[in-house]
Structure 1
Amino acid sequence: MIDEELAKMIAKDFQPFSVVEDKGFKNYCLALNPSYVLPARKTLSQKIIPKLYDRQRESLQTELSKASAVCITSDSWTSRATSSFMAVTCHYIEDYKMKSCLLDCFEVSERHTSENLAEELLKVAQEWKIKHKVDNAANIVKSIKLLKWTYLPCLAHTINLIVRDALKVIKSTVDKVKGIVEFFHKSTTATQKLKNTQRQLGLPELRPIQDCITRWNSTLHMLKRVLDLREAIISTLALLNTPIELLYPHEWDIVKEACTVLEPFEQVTVEISGEQYVTASKMIILCRGLQIATTHHQTSGTISTENITEMVQVISASMEKRFHRMEFNNVLAEASVLDPRFKKLAFNDSTALDEAVQRLKTAAANCTRNEPSAPPGNQGEAVSQEVEKHTSTVWRFFDERATEDTTRRNPSADAILENRSYLDEPRIQRVEDPLSWWKSKAPVYPFLPKSWQVVTCVCVSSS
């Protein structure tokens, strides 16, 4: 038992196996329990950890086997050592809660072609026995099509592409900011001088933030931090008399307005990057919200610089292209309708709404047709005995009518009534949990949750 807890600690805290050989750790364990003998490094790595892994893996496979549907997100990258890696994460719903688990993370030796990626994804899905449950890079898209799985682009990746294209408009200003930030990160003298200047000005001691090429919002954080440090940076660079090129007054305006324009994209990126709550049903609304916020900058007169005006135009055109007909995406549309916070309000296009509702009616009707009859057993026998006890000439007429009425029931009509009843219910507050709502309504709507679980487990970001 203690060995297992030790293995869990090493796994959770990313400790090396050699920790069991460290003198300090040995003394600590001895103080806690003098009778406990630490396992050897070899025993830990070859027996205890693999045994714990097998048990956890078996438990997770059992959990996944109970899921109605799963969503798989994948991401690939190349390390500084030019080794390529791929990670596959599975998302599903268990007991009306969103769950996520990393299924595999491995080195990809083959080229990142669609066929090779499809083969790797299929291998993982078959290994975990979830191939039948699986309902933005071009090679990933094509590989999904090869497997005939439902594909959704990563919204965080899409936003990254939109913003990266827009930032090209103000590249010269951003490059100047990068130069200032890199100067302070490379010079300890300049960094210390910046701290001293902040103290003299009564400002909080903050360091400039460097951006990362694969995360657009790191560029936003860099620009915002430079704005916060503007006075201290100008004073420090003047005192140091360095060749670093400072921003002109109009460039400071560009940085400020760029931060204002990009802030909503940061908010959406954070919003859709969670794994513990529903995201697919928000995608249509959030993307439209970004379009509205961007249009507001064009019409409200809040933008004064020519560069940011052009940047906003680039963003608008890119969103129009990438978000076109999003309401007609089956998964996103059905997820929005089935979210009790949004329902019909997620749609601008009535045709897209009608088509989504009709698909849900059809799915619910199929569920009613395939619904199994009451299982045999003690409960069924008790019911039969109760019926026999009350069977008489007087009740025979009613029983025949009731049986006939049940036989004539139309699954499609039942599905229509259930859909209509759901849509007529008042929407819940946006901050409430739709999963908890469906849990409370499971007895009321027996068929809709089957469709709901399939689309709700979808994550719109692989981040």
Structure 2
Amino acid sequence: MTTARQKTIDEELAKMIACDFQPFSVVDDKGFRRFIHALNPMYAIPSRKTVSQGIIPGLYDRERATLQERVKKATAVCLTTDSWTSRTTTSYLSVTCHFVESYKMVSCLLDCFEFSDRHTSDNLAEELLKVAKEWGVENKVVCCVSDNAANITKAIKTLKWTHHPCLAHTINLFVRDALKVMKPTVNKVKTIVEFIHRSTTATHKLKSTQLQMGMPELKLKQDCVTRWNSTFHMIKRILESKDAVISTLAVMNASVDPLSQEEWEVLQEACTVLEPFEQVTVEISADSYVTASKMLILCKGVQRVTAEHQTRVTTGKVTELVAALYASMDRKFHRIEYNPILSESTVLNPRFKKLAFHDNRAVDEALQRVTAAAARSGQPTSLSAVT
């Protein structure tokens, strides 16, 4: 086999390991080596050390250089940043860049690194600026999206970048808060799910009961305290398996509090109320198209649907849930039409234009800003072009 051919296959092997999250030790696995030998007996599989210390670092450097050139050509970018702590209590900070290339949105991770310093606004601002300068985008940032934490918000404003709070995170905060009115019922569901997950006997019994009842064989889902929609999915799944769950707990004489008929009704109504919030969360979490121009109409839509639920729900706890959700949205969204980023992107979206607005003054101000920006760029635009 020629050296060039060997190198090409080595790189494809490295890409496979990276794309499929395979361990470097895969090159030492007997089955893998037999498979490769069957495909090409002439190919010499590189050692684990060669892959980890030679091939992949070289491939990374080339891919990074190519991506850096693409980012440099972008005239404007949007950044998203987030920090979190792993299970081993190690803190990380990530920065992702979004830009338009050939009329398509491109998203790329600029950096993800261990961040052991105190998460003060100054330290965060320093790290964000360092990453932006490394990629040459510090003067191209039109908006930086983050969660609602005060430290990262202040850090972005310190850099004089336009900050926008993540709508998915905002929804997560107020829906989680509203769900507190149902805490006893939700906790009962958690206990039932945890009991069935811990017990192999209960898991097997639930499966067999589902089959006997002609129901889909569905596993119950556990929730995550940091994601409100995981609670929604947990509730939705237990409702889909309601009869099988009731039967399983009764047959096993499980030492958990069963849900009353009223609580089942509360869960069913709550699911109906929360469904639009889940749909909005999924819609705005897209990574292949821009979502800013949809936010006004989505926020107004979910407010309207929630208002309609105020006259539809019949159970007391869900009435409290709806009231809490509506009050939170009224506080969070009452000035959203005046947000420059959202209002300008909305009026420029040919599908929406003025339709997402209730306040004519907000529309007029957005149109004037768009027209002024177009004039500064040397491309005069009349208001009629976007109305």
TM-score category of the 2 structures, normalised to the smaller one: over 0.9
> Which one of the candidate residues 366, 369, 376 is aligned to 1:366?
376
Cα drift, residue 324 of structure 1: 2.2
Whether 1:163 aligns to 2:178 is no
Whether 1:175 aligns to 2:187 is yes
Task: Determine the structure 1 residue equivalent to 2:333.
Answer: 323
Q: Does structure 1 conserve the Cα–Cα contact (< 8 Å) formed by 2:178 and 2:321?
A: yes
> Which one of the candidate residues 124, 144, 164 is aligned to 1:117?
124
Whether 1:239 aligns to 2:251 is yes
SS in 1 for 2:164: coil
Task: Determine the structure 2 residue equivalent to 1:292.
Answer: 304
Deviations 1:368-412 (A, max 9, x none): 1xxxxxxxxxxxxxxxxxxxxxxxxxxxxxxxxxxxxxxxxxxxx
Cα drift, residue 21 of structure 1: 1.8
Of residues 330-339 and 23-32 in structure 1, the stretch that sits farther from structure 2 once superposed is: 23-32
> Which one of the candidate residues 364, 380, 384 is aligned to 1:415?
380
TM-score between both structures, scaled by the size of structure 1: 0.79
CA distance in 2, matches of 1:192, 1:421: 63
Report 1:45-56 matches (<5 A): 45-56=52-63
Report 1:87-236 matches (<5 A): 87-135=94-142, 136-236=148-248
CA distance in 1, matches of 2:158, 2:270: 40
Task: Determine the structure 2 residue equivalent to 1:352.
Answer: 362
Question: Unpaired segments of 5 or more residues in structure 2?
Answer: 1-7, 143-147
SS in 2 for 1:99: strand
CA distance in 1, matches of 2:350, 2:339: 19
Which amino acid is 1:57 matched to?
A: R
Q: Does structure 1 conserve the Cα–Cα contact (< 8 Å) formed by 2:24 and 2:48?
A: yes
> Which one of the candidate residues 10, 17, 31 is aligned to 1:24?
31
SS in 2 for 1:346: coil
Report 1:448-459 matches (<5 A): none
Q: Does structure 1 conserve the Cα–Cα contact (< 8 Å) formed by 2:193 and 2:222?
A: yes
CA distance in 1, matches of 2:139, 2:381: 28
Task: Determine the structure 2 residue equivalent to 1:342.
Answer: 352
Cα drift, residue 139 of structure 1: 1.4
Whether 1:312 aligns to 2:322 is yes
Question: Unpaired segments of 5 or more residues in structure 1?
Answer: 369-413, 424-463
Task: Determine the structure 2 residue equivalent to 1:273.
Answer: 285
What is the total number of aligned residue pairs between the two structures? 375
Q: Does structure 1 conserve the Cα–Cα contact (< 8 Å) formed by 2:353 and 2:386?
A: no
Cα drift, residue 189 of structure 1: 0.6
CA distance in 1, matches of 2:230, 2:153: 26
SS in 2 for 1:77: strand
Cα drift, residue 123 of structure 1: 1.2
> Which one of the candidate residues 11, 15, 36 is aligned to 2:22?
15
Deviations 1:293-339 (A, max 9, x none): 1000113xx20111111111111111111112111111111100111
Cα drift, residue 272 of structure 1: 0.5
Cα drift, residue 140 of structure 1: 1.3
CA distance in 2, matches of 1:249, 1:44: 59
Which amino acid is 1:415 matched to?
A: P
Deviations 1:336-355 (A, max 9, x none): 01111111112111111111
Deviations 1:100-155 (A, max 9, x none): 01111111111222111111111111111111111122211111111111111011
CA distance in 2, matches of 1:240, 1:39: 55
Instruction: Kindly indicate whether structure 1 or structure 2 has the higher relative contact order, using CA contacts under 8 Å at least 6 residues apart.
Output: 1
Cα drift, residue 275 of structure 1: 0.8
> Which one of the candidate residues 282, 291, 295 is aligned to 1:283?
295
Of residues 197-206 and 51-60 in structure 1, the stretch that sits farther from structure 2 once superposed is: 197-206
Which amino acid is 2:385 matched to?
A: S
SS in 2 for 1:343: coil
Q: Does structure 1 conserve the Cα–Cα contact (< 8 Å) formed by 2:293 and 2:346?
A: yes
SS in 2 for 1:341: coil
Q: Does structure 1 conserve the Cα–Cα contact (< 8 Å) formed by 2:300 and 2:356?
A: no
Q: Does structure 1 conserve the Cα–Cα contact (< 8 Å) formed by 2:171 and 2:277?
A: yes
SS in 1 for 2:107: strand
CA distance in 2, matches of 1:208, 1:359: 51
CA distance in 1, matches of 2:307, 2:386: 34
Cα drift, residue 40 of structure 1: 2.1
SS in 2 for 1:132: coil
> Which one of the candidate residues 85, 88, 99 is aligned to 1:78?
85
Task: Determine the structure 2 residue equivalent to 1:438.
Answer: none
Whether 1:62 aligns to 2:69 is yes
Deviations 1:184-225 (A, max 9, x none): 000001111111211222212111110111111110111111
Aligned-residue identity in percent: 63
Instruction: Tell me how large the CA RMSD over aligned residues is.
Output: 1.2
Whether 1:44 aligns to 2:51 is yes
Cα drift, residue 288 of structure 1: 0.6
Cα drift, residue 422 of structure 1: 4.1
SS in 1 for 2:21: coil
SS in 2 for 1:131: coil
SS in 2 for 1:91: strand
Cα drift, residue 421 of structure 1: 3.0
CA distance in 2, matches of 1:274, 1:268: 10
